[in-house]
Amino acid sequence: MEFSALKRFSYFLAAFGSYVFFYGILVPLYTLCLIYRGGVLLIARLIRPDLEEVVSDPKFLSAHPGTIFSNIVVCFVIDGRISATRIQEMYEERVINLVDSNGRVYKKLSQFWVPFLSYAFWKSDPKFNLKNHIRDFDQDVGFSKPCDQSSLLEVLPKLMDVPWKSNRSPWEVLVVSNFQGPVATRSSQTLLIFRSDHMLGDFHCLLELFRVLFNSPFLTPGAKRNNRDLSFWQKLKFFLAIPLAFLTSAKFMLQGRYLGARRPGNGFICDVSKPISGDIIKDIRIHFNVKFATVLHSATIAAVAGAIENSGRAAPEKIDMSSVLPIPGHPGGLNNHMSLLVANFPCKSGSSVERLLGTERILKDFETASFPMACFFYGQMISNLPYRIANPLFNCFSHFFPSLFLTTLPTTLDRDFVDGAEIVDAFALSNPVTPLGMFIPTWGVNNQHRISFCLDPTIFKQPGTFSGLSQYFRREIEVLHESISVS
């Protein structure tokens, strides 16, 4: 009883200290920065008319224009021939000049960022040409063209580390003809590799871009997690909870990550699963009355546990993991509109079902928790700071946790086409942001899920350990599905 009272008192002191630090130190400094920001905007308008609006979300900015911080790569396998010239025409006809009530929807595709008085500004490319962004793979890429799934997974890690040109918008589409994808078809296949700097927008934005570009529905289920409208008072509540989010983060900082970190200069590797039917995941979800995301979270952790044990160590009871949490009211266009959750998820469990149900309890608690939304409003707040201050404040916690980062993207529910040619396969990748050692996106088309493990191969301390991650994931899905008939 005395220990419990001491623990509560210690938490009270820590929470009080967090509020004093935030409102007594950070908020006054933030106010001064807002005044400075207003001055920078005025000066930019007077002496730099070539600069447009300030980059509103600097957390994915690299240290300098052109360098790599975080990339998103989406690969499409098309059952048919699609040329780079035809993709250029689609962008010209449907994307580049698309407008809404706020102006050009995809203006950032023709802009790059430049620093000015410690802030990052968008600047239009005066020599913008779609041929610089959409081209055949064998033009000025620097390494061999992939011809099948195996060679593609060797090429992608190298491609994702290729720096951008500092005077061009950071995105490109590479076209590979005569590709042999994992789904056999009678026609010649075309591979489209879409690479984009994360600073341009999140996957939700890219999915909408693909709908417009390919003139195909890309129908996905609506977001279920955190699907709530926020009143003014709720927003105020979450803003006031920011110091408590600091406290939660401090707990994980003291705990430290279980897996190793990605070291500067280290390359990374990719392990992508074979397609998994969404009907199997749906059966598991319905039978155990859990969320779609719960099944993917639990199977991912099981895969990591298998890799840890394969490296000669015992899997921990729990492991620190973050994942993306959707935020209501996505504004559309190109931007990043999301938050994250971080928790110790059950890793070593008595059974797959036990791990699944334990994961569901954690994710369900986060549906009403203040932490994700407090992180979101914290992010909006410091986005107004100079980017050399805002970027470290966004990413300082990643030096301590988590061990891995998962994002569960909505798989399309039906067939999609490009100029009448079916998209027979697709998956997404993202490079691990130093020092985060592993990034895991899940996505797919036509109700076929694919999970991609992108990681620094040294984080398990044992060469070759990573090679079974996608197989471990697939096996865990099979075990959960088989348990339906047993239970």
Q: Is residue 300 included in any domain, yes or no?
A: yes
Please report whether residue 222 resides in a domain. Answer: no
Q: Is residue 342 part of a domain?
A: yes
- Say what the pLDDT of residue 63 is: 76
Q: Is the confidence at residue 356, as pLDDT, over 50? A: yes
Task: State whether 440 and 359 are in the same domain.
Answer: yes
**Beta partners for residue 455, in sequence order:** 269, 438
Of 49, 69, 88, which closes a domain? 49
Query: How is residue 6 written in tokens?
Result: 């001491």
Q: Are residues 459 and 353 both part of a single domain?
A: yes
Residue 227 domain flag: no
Same domain? For 194 and 240 the reply is no
Predicted local distance difference test score (pLDDT) of residue 142 = 65
pLDDT of res. 422: 95
Same domain (yes/no): 271, 141: no
d(CA 382, CA 363): 27
The verdict on residue 335 lying in a domain is yes
Whole-Å CA distances, 113 to 1, 40, 369? 57, 16, 35
Q: Is residue 226 part of a domain?
A: no
Asked, for residue 225, whether it belongs to a domain, the answer is no
Residue at a domain's end among 160, 180, 214: 214
- In 3D space, the residue among 109, 168, 121, 118 whose CA is nearest the CA of residue 140 turns out to be 168
Domain carrying residue 201: 58-214
316 and 413 part of one domain: yes
Using CA atoms, how far residue 460 sits from 258, 400, 456, 466, in Å, is 10, 17, 9, 8
- Please tell me whether residues 33 and 69 are part of one structural domain: no
pTM of structure = 0.92
Domain end call among 179, 214, 249: 214
Between 307 and 395, residue with greater pLDDT: 307
Claim to verify: residue 363 and residue 465 sit in the same structural domain: yes
CATH number of the domain to which 87 belongs: 3.30.559.10
Total of domains in the chain: 3
Which of the residue ranges 26-40, 205-219, 255-269 would you say has the lowest mean pLDDT?
255-269
- Whether 74 contacts 88, CB under 8 Å: no
Higher pLDDT, 379 or 426: 426
Q: Does residue 388 sit in the same domain as residue 470? A: yes
- What is the structure's pLDDT at 432? 78
Are 25 and 68 found together in one domain? no
DSSP codes joined into one string, 410-426? PPPSS--EETTEEEEEE
pLDDT category at 351 given cuts 50, 70, 90 is very high
191 and 79 share one domain: yes
- Interval 198-243: pLDDT, tens: 999 999 899 999 999 999 999 988 655 445 566 767 777 777 777 7
Residues 44 and 73 in one domain: no
- The answer to the question of residue 220 being in a domain is no
Q: At 322, which CATH number?
A: 3.30.559.30
Say what percent of the chain tops pLDDT 70. Answer: 92
Q: Are residues 64 and 161 in the same domain?
A: yes
**Interatomic CA distance for residues 455 and 439, integer angstroms:** 6
DSSP element (H, E) containing 396:
none
Q: Which range among 14-18, 153-157, 197-201 shows the weakest confidence by mean pLDDT? A: 14-18
